[in-house]
Amino acid sequence: MRYQLRDEQGATHSVAYLMLAAAPVVFLTGIVLPDTHPTGWVVAILATCVFMAGAGSAARWRPGWIPRVWWLIAPFAAIAIIAGMNFASHDASAGAQLFYLWPVLYAANFLSNRIVAVVLVLISAGHAAVAFSTLTPTKALSDWVSVTVALSLTAFVVGSLRNRHDRLRLVLESQALADPLTGVANRRSFDGELARAVTWARRSGESLALITVDIDYFKKINDTYGHGVGDQAIQVVANALRVVARREDDLVARIGGDEFVVLLRTDRVSAAKASEEVRTVLAAVEGLPCGPPGLSIGVAMLPDHATTADELRAASDAALYEAKQGGRGRTAMARPPRPARTDEISAAG
């Protein structure tokens, strides 16, 4: 999303530590160090310090009390406070402008590029208001350009590092959820997707198919042709299964050495057709020393054969076992759950 907060926990800590650190700094530079202490200025500084300390404490220890939108508008509030204090104190020094680093770093780390651009524009405008009202025009122009360029470069560097970090994180996540040999999902990814798919099926009332696939006599392929050919056979089967997983929400996963599952949001008839389509795709494979591998396939449906993820997995496994027992190279559909007999219900009561 365009304005979505990237890391709420990190943003919360950033705001908390800034506020808690800034409160004593503002008190020191605003009241202790100046030679004069106008009443209005003292009241404004004290109010600012109390606000910062209170907001920082809430962000650190009670973040749930603060509306989530605050983490999106925090850099704008910081700009308003910094620009207001600099303007009121007529302070255009480099030290005063360094406080603008926080909203720049915050936005570059946690917010979108568009918001970073808006933050830089506001900071540039705020500093211009202070510089041109305090310094000579030439000095003000030079100072304004220097601060704007320096902060823009800072935002660019931090944003580039953030994007690089995001790309690396996506690569690592993809590797953690994918089978390295075939590129399809691994067991960990499948377990999470199965739970989500079952929840979807219950809420929508739609059917969900779980197809479990096992390569027939895979050990014999390895023993006869070597593990290299066995790996090729596994890759060929994975590619064939990808053909039938056409929808965006469909999933192919390798959950064992030669065992795969296919999760399809479809009905019973389409699931059976998908199983046979896999065989057709494999039959056209050429160049594999062992020939097209045979498959035993078990199909289970939710809600026909199960009501939970565990039941659906067990039903599909049972159907696969039936296909193997029937001679392999065939597809078996799971059997409906056996209804409890009257005497069993009475005994349970």
40 and 164 assigned to the same domain? yes
231 and 286 assigned to the same domain? yes
Strands 259-264, 251-254: pairing is: antiparallel
Q: Is residue 28 part of a domain?
A: yes
Average pLDDT taken over every residue of the chain: 87
Residue 112 has pLDDT above 60, yes or no: yes
Q: How many domains does the chain have?
A: 2
Q: Is residue 3 part of a domain?
A: no
155 and 258 assigned to the same domain? no
Q: Given pLDDT bands bounded at 50, 70 and 90, which one contains residue 341?
A: low
Residue 347 has pLDDT above 70, yes or no: no
Domain that holds residue 147: 8-176
Residue 344 has pLDDT above 60, yes or no: no
206 and 171 assigned to the same domain? no
191 and 152 assigned to the same domain? no
Domain end among 176, 197, 222: 176
Q: Is residue 117 part of a domain?
A: yes
Q: How high is the pLDDT of residue 257?
A: 87
Residue 119 has pLDDT above 90, yes or no: yes
Q: How high is the pLDDT of residue 339?
A: 62
Q: Is residue 314 part of a domain?
A: yes
Q: Is residue 95 part of a domain?
A: yes
Q: pLDDT tens across 292-325, in order?
A: 899 999 999 999 998 899 999 999 999 999 999 9
Q: Given pLDDT bands bounded at 50, 70 and 90, which one contains residue 340?
A: low
> Looking at 24-38, 93-107, 193-207, which range is the least confident one?
24-38
Q: pLDDT tens across 226-276, in order?
A: 999 999 999 999 999 999 998 888 999 998 889 999 999 999 999 999 999
76 and 25 assigned to the same domain? yes
195 and 171 assigned to the same domain? no
Write the CATH number for 225: 3.30.70.270
219 and 275 assigned to the same domain? yes
Residue 346 has pLDDT above 90, yes or no: no
Q: How high is the pLDDT of residue 120?
A: 95
Q: How high is the pLDDT of residue 1?
A: 44
Q: How high is the pLDDT of residue 345?
A: 43
Domain end among 120, 150, 176: 176
Q: Is residue 345 part of a domain?
A: no
Domain end among 156, 176, 196: 176
Q: How high is the pLDDT of residue 60?
A: 87
266 and 126 assigned to the same domain? no
170 and 195 assigned to the same domain? no
Q: Is residue 349 part of a domain?
A: no
163 and 233 assigned to the same domain? no
Q: pLDDT tens across 135-167, in order?
A: 999 999 999 999 999 999 999 999 898 888 888
161 and 194 assigned to the same domain? no
Residue 3 has pLDDT above 80, yes or no: no
Q: Is residue 344 part of a domain?
A: no
